Structure 1
Amino acid sequence: MQRFLRVILIGWLACLVVGGQVFAQGAASVPTIALNPSAAGVSLDGNSRFWVDATGLRSADRVEADFASLPWALREPGRTYNIDGKALWFQFDAQSAGGRWFLELASSGIDRAQLFYRGEDGKWVEQEAGDTMPVSQWPLPGRFPTFELSGVTGKPVRYWLRVEHARVDFASPIAIYDQPRLLASREREQFLLGAYFGLAALITLIAAANGIVQRDRNFRAYAVYVGSLAIGQLAYLGVGAQHVWDHWLHWNEVATFVLPGISGACALWFARTVTEPARFSRALDLAVWALIFALLSAVALDTLLTSRTSFALVMALTLVALAVVAGLVMLVWAQGEDPYIRLIALGFVPVLVMALFPVARGLNLIPASALTRYGLSIGAAIEMPILFYALSLRATRRRVTFDRAAGLSHNDALTGLAHNRTLLQRLESALTRARSMRHGCGLIALRISNFDALVTEYGREMGDRVLVVAASLLRQAITDVDLAARTGDHEFAILLEGPTGSAVALSRAQQIVASGLRQADALPTGTTLKFCITLAMLPERELNAAASLKWLQDAARAMPADSRKVIRPLNF
């Protein structure tokens, strides 16, 4: 019995060993990639093996010689690799049916990538790209490391891809494309990126100009935020290394880590400027400043240490900053004091959502993808016009308030019309021009004849509303060169600058009477405005501005409130 059990145990262990070997061989077994014009793009997922060189020192010759003894494994979709201080090797076989084919690692900021294969003469063909050399010296310059495959057709060629990448797990999609598809993809990307950076530059310049001219700190902060975000995207997307700082190798190595962190601090500063948390809590405002300082300090520390831990700290603080931005916007929304906060909140949403993808990628929570590469740019492109429009509305509202306050020396505070002194100055100038150039100007005096009755029935507040409605009707009746003014408690005047005729003056008076008899939404149902109007063509005899106005006002006051004839020309 014991012998029987021993045989069963040995057989079971043998099955495990053989099965494990078969499984390992199956996992590392990959097909030869067939490259033909019908292949839109062939991913190395499931079509390549990988192995991590813990020393990072093995050469292509050594890896090729030890191929059979190395623990190769199948590259699976979404796999990430921590290769700090190591080297990651991929091996695949491809057979071309013709044309030019390229291998692309679809991520910028890769430290170093090398492709090896044997040429027809048996010697190594080596290509290299990455942050260790200028983009202009890459085999195929661009945002992503790209290598041309062998031009040999009709037989398989074995390729070895070596990657060095520190501080963030390597998780770049790797695929093979033919030349037409690769060029079409790059042209499309350049067009979209050009549109984004062009929009960002335009918004930055306009916002900065508005901030300087209008002395608006919101626009100044917005210009800094948009500009810093665009510069951060220059580094993150590889556009800066390709077009701006091609030969600045050290800066290119750190820019991908430094600039996005700075743009995160600028975003938090802009949110603080817009929401003004100090209005609600001094401690909250200090906490926001402390987070900005902590984020910038973490960026500086990461630049000095260049470690995985320091970069994870920057990403964690960036995540906290995104949460604080959302909290500040919601706080102002809850207070309900800002009529444009909903539009501002809507503008922040795309960036707050899309920024989560590159942050999660920086924390090694998800593999590289289109959302981790372009998500923030897409969110920013949606955000920029919305926030610019919201800030413009807010600035217009404040400017109207300031303009109205500044205009109190010239305008009536309640109706916004010119007051009596401004009218007399304009009228005196108009009379001088009319006498010297021998043409006429018109003057209309108006009185709301049922004003006292409305105040008695509805109260003084309704009287103020009646005056505002009357002022609105007068504005609709004048042109840009005319002037409407409030000359008394419920009296108004309109100056029709010359040259003008009696027919025009009479037409304006009829228009005012008719508009007053129409129901206004601001007045109680069935309530209309009744005007008594006198008008004259000036100059009249030797009357000056004050005497001319008094002449028309006295005539208007003398008209009975219930008179059937409400328009009275005085000299025509």
Structure 2
Amino acid sequence: MPELDLLWLGLFLGVAAMALAYASGEALMRGDAVNAWYALHVVMMVLYQGVQLGYADGLDAGHDAGMREAVRLMAGALLAAVSLLFARRLLPRALGDRRADRWAVVVAAVGVALTAGYLAWPELAREPTVVLAQRAYYLLALSSVIFLLWALRGVRLPYIGWYAAAFLSVAAGLALAAAAERGWLPAQGGWERYGMLAGAGLEILILTYALNFSARDLSRGPGERRHGARLDRWTGLLHGGELPGLLMSLSVRSLRMNTAGAVVMLRLANLEDLQRAHGSEVTEAVMKACARVLREACSPGDLPLRLDDARFVVVLEQVQSRSEAHALAQRILELGLRHHPELPPLERLHWHAAVACIPQDLKGKPQTLIERLDQAVAQIRRGSGALIRSL
């Protein structure tokens, strides 16, 4: 049924062309490394589908059966390797288990080695054991993607559900094609020829949707992030519950766009002294004074949050170096030593600070980074000569 072949292939190529145009534009205009890998993934998927449907038979010399089979296996091995490297970049290794990341690199290298082997010795493609090894490699690549997803368990990565659905779609297409090849499905249904094509097309549609909206989230400015976010009722700063989501967005943006951000954790060291001297009712006034200091010290692009009575955080979405975050922390410490109208006479705010840069200091999930900053700032002693620590 050549007309049906052309219809299916036309639909698939239309979806792939749309995705390739989008991914290439994002990679060139925004420097988005994830979309650069996605564009390569789409190209390899198109080549693989063309080979599977027989449209590449005329490219091999003399229509040799061994060469045709080698081309088919090369396309499959290279697609699996590229797709695995794309998934590795899509699912940030710094947020999960680095063992999954290293394993993905090794498995992708095996795919490249298989491709080189078929290119050098096309006759290998006719060996039954080599064909079985190729199928085992497909399962290995699929299990590696599952390992990457499992490594991110507990991490609220934006759109991770969509990414998982996309990988499941292409896996289902592969399963349909394999079942039809073994005779488990009716031969008249066209499952062997169109199952993988449908699964791959659905995968591309889902990934393009998810990557598009993910990029829009990452490119939002500070003002847009404040819109609709929870605010602290005493200070008007962002609520501390917004911090994990902000850190997640900052982490993904840093790893995806090759930018750098920073986090400044602040602890009010003399809060208990103020409460003992003036009673617990002074706490609200102290929080308002803290908010005044942070608003005065921060630029419009910074995001200050209140975690609790003693701890505050400032998220800097883009910095050129660690010294920028240190300068902000120093400015907050100096402003705190001035008297503020919310405070009782002669009272000051004594801050301690810890600074982290992203992605350099991101050694696991965002919650881990918060805990490390908390520990660093808690180790600073009153009267110490170094009131700002860096991870």
- After TM superposition, the score normalised by the length of structure 2 is 0.52
| Superposed displacement of residue 359, structure 1 | 5.0
Paired residue type of 1:268: L
Work out which of the residue numbers 158, 174, 177 in structure 2 matches 1:339: 158
CA distance in 2 between counterparts of 1:206 and 1:412 reads 24
Contact 2:87/2:145 (8 A) holds in 1: yes
| Superposed displacement of residue 379, structure 1 | 0.5
Contact 1:319/1:356 (8 A) holds in 2: no
| Superposed displacement of residue 323, structure 1 | 1.9
Q: How does 1:289-328 map to 2 (within 5 A)?
A: 289-303=105-119, 304=121, 305-306=124-125, 307-328=127-148
Aligned residue in 2 for 1:186: 2
Aligned residue in 1 for 2:263: none
Q: How does 1:130-209 map to 2 (within 5 A)?
A: 185-209=1-25
Q: 1:412 to 1:358 in 2, by over 3 A?
A: closer
| Superposed displacement of residue 222, structure 1 | 0.8
Secondary structure of 1:387's match?
helix
| Superposed displacement of residue 188, structure 1 | 2.6
* More contact order relative to length (CA 8 Å, sep ≥ 6): 2
Q: How does 1:98-109 map to 2 (within 5 A)?
A: none
CA distance in 2 between counterparts of 1:285 and 1:464 reads 34
CA distance in 2 between counterparts of 1:193 and 1:310 reads 29
Work out which of the residue numbers 460, 473, 476 in structure 1 matches 2:234: 460
CA distance in 2 between counterparts of 1:413 and 1:225 reads 31
Aligned residue in 1 for 2:198: 378
Secondary structure of 1:460's match?
coil
Aligned residue in 2 for 1:353: 172
Q: 1:248 to 1:212 in 2, by over 3 A?
A: farther
Listed one character per residue, the Cα deviations across residues 257-291 of structure 1 (whole Å, up to 9, x for unaligned) are: 21122111111111111112343233321111111
Contact 1:319/1:359 (8 A) holds in 2: no
Q: 1:283 to 1:328 in 2, by over 3 A?
A: closer
CA distance in 2 between counterparts of 1:214 and 1:223 reads 14
Structure 2 residue 63 is matched with structure 1 residue 249: yes
Paired residue type of 2:148: L
Q: 1:336 to 1:215 in 2, by over 3 A?
A: same
Q: 1:335 to 1:298 in 2, by over 3 A?
A: same
Listed one character per residue, the Cα deviations across residues 39-88 of structure 1 (whole Å, up to 9, x for unaligned) are: xxxxxxxxxxxxxxxxxxxxxxxxxxxxxxxxxxxxxxxxxxxxxxxxxx
Work out which of the residue numbers 187, 210, 219 in structure 2 matches 1:399: 219
Aligned residue in 2 for 1:223: 39
| Superposed displacement of residue 389, structure 1 | 1.0
Contact 1:344/1:386 (8 A) holds in 2: yes
Listed one character per residue, the Cα deviations across residues 522-559 of structure 1 (whole Å, up to 9, x for unaligned) are: xxxxxxxxxxxxxxxxxxxxxxxxxxxxxxxxxxxxxx
What RMSD, in angstroms, separates the aligned Cα atoms of the two structures?
A: 3.3
Q: 1:461 to 1:390 in 2, by over 3 A?
A: same
Secondary structure of 1:335's match?
coil
Structure with higher Rg: it is: 1
Q: 1:186 to 1:331 in 2, by over 3 A?
A: same
**Normalized per residue, which structure has more strand?**
1
| Superposed displacement of residue 360, structure 1 | 6.1
- Worse overlay, 282-291 or 220-229: 282-291
CA distance in 2 between counterparts of 1:412 and 1:329 reads 29
Q: 1:192 to 1:365 in 2, by over 3 A?
A: closer
Aligned residue in 2 for 1:547: none
Contact 2:74/2:114 (8 A) holds in 1: no
Secondary structure of 2:219's match?
helix
| Superposed displacement of residue 414, structure 1 | 6.6
Q: 1:192 to 1:464 in 2, by over 3 A?
A: closer
| Superposed displacement of residue 231, structure 1 | 0.4
Contact 2:111/2:137 (8 A) holds in 1: yes
Secondary structure of 2:235's match?
helix
Paired residue type of 1:353: A
| Superposed displacement of residue 415, structure 1 | 7.7
Contact 2:84/2:108 (8 A) holds in 1: yes
| Superposed displacement of residue 339, structure 1 | 2.4
Contact 2:8/2:197 (8 A) holds in 1: no
Contact 2:100/2:144 (8 A) holds in 1: no
Paired residue type of 1:338: L
CA distance in 2 between counterparts of 1:264 and 1:459 reads 51
Q: 1:367 to 1:382 in 2, by over 3 A?
A: closer
CA distance in 1 between counterparts of 2:118 and 2:60 reads 23
Unaligned runs of 5+ in 1: 1-184, 405-410, 417-454, 466-488, 490-572
Paired residue type of 2:34: N
| Superposed displacement of residue 228, structure 1 | 0.2
Contact 1:275/1:328 (8 A) holds in 2: yes
CA distance in 1 between counterparts of 2:225 and 2:193 reads 55
CA distance in 2 between counterparts of 1:256 and 1:375 reads 17
CA distance in 2 between counterparts of 1:464 and 1:258 reads 53
How many matched pairs? 230
Contact 1:295/1:318 (8 A) holds in 2: no
Contact 1:301/1:310 (8 A) holds in 2: no
**Normalized per residue, which structure has more helix?**
2
Q: 1:324 to 1:246 in 2, by over 3 A?
A: closer
| Superposed displacement of residue 361, structure 1 | 7.0
- After TM superposition, the score normalised by the length of structure 1 is 0.36
| Superposed displacement of residue 377, structure 1 | 0.6
Aligned residue in 2 for 1:277: 93
Contact 2:185/2:191 (8 A) holds in 1: no
Contact 2:70/2:118 (8 A) holds in 1: no
Secondary structure of 2:156's match?
coil
Q: 1:367 to 1:247 in 2, by over 3 A?
A: farther
Listed one character per residue, the Cα deviations across residues 343-396 of structure 1 (whole Å, up to 9, x for unaligned) are: 22122221012212445678x686894323221110011111211110111111
Paired residue type of 2:154: Q
Paired residue type of 1:238: G
Aligned residue in 2 for 1:538: none
CA distance in 2 between counterparts of 1:337 and 1:249 reads 51
Q: 1:415 to 1:360 in 2, by over 3 A?
A: closer
| Superposed displacement of residue 216, structure 1 | 0.6
